[in-house]
Amino acid sequence: MLKFVGLSNCFCVSLCTRILRDAFGLRRVILGNFMPEGTIKKLADKGFGFIQGADSDIFFHFSALEGISFEELREGQKVEYQEGTGPKGPRAENVTPIDG
């Protein structure tokens, strides 16, 4: 019974994620928090860049990338990220490319 309940809960979370993504155009929903999507606006040779988000541009550092290296990024590429705060203000964290 425990295994069934675990699978059932997993199925419900998966189904709810899919419904929310389809209904609101969100790519990923994690326990009620979504990851905003944006476009790589500017890349600097020094290992940082800016993402054009829905409201404003946000800074990111190459150390915040997941699933891609800084050298593989291209301006105009779609990414998703989590908003965080760095020593100089807002920054993108867990920056992940969006396939497709």
Residues 6 or more apart in contact with residue 24 via CB below 8 angstroms: 34
- The reported pLDDT for the residue numbered 33 is 58
CB atoms inside a 10 Å sphere around CB 13 = 13
Is residue 22 located within the same domain as residue 41? no
pLDDT tens-digit readout, 42-51? 999 999 999 9
Is residue 60 located within the same domain as residue 42? yes
Structural contact between residues 69 and 53, judged by C-beta atoms closer than 8 angstroms: no
Total domains in the chain come to 2
Q: Is 95 exposed, middle or buried (0-12, 13-18, 19+ CB in 10 A)?
A: buried
Is residue 18 located within the same domain as residue 53? no
Question: Between residues 23 and 86, which one has the greater pLDDT?
Answer: 86
pLDDT tens-digit readout, 54-72? 889 999 999 999 999 999 9
Structural contact between residues 40 and 79, judged by C-beta atoms closer than 8 angstroms: yes
Is residue 39 located within the same domain as residue 81? yes
pTM above 0.85, yes or no: no
Q: How confident is the model at residue 31 (pLDDT cuts 50, 70, 90)?
A: very low
Is residue 47 located within the same domain as residue 63? yes
Rounded to the nearest 5°, which phi and psi values hold at 13? -65, -45
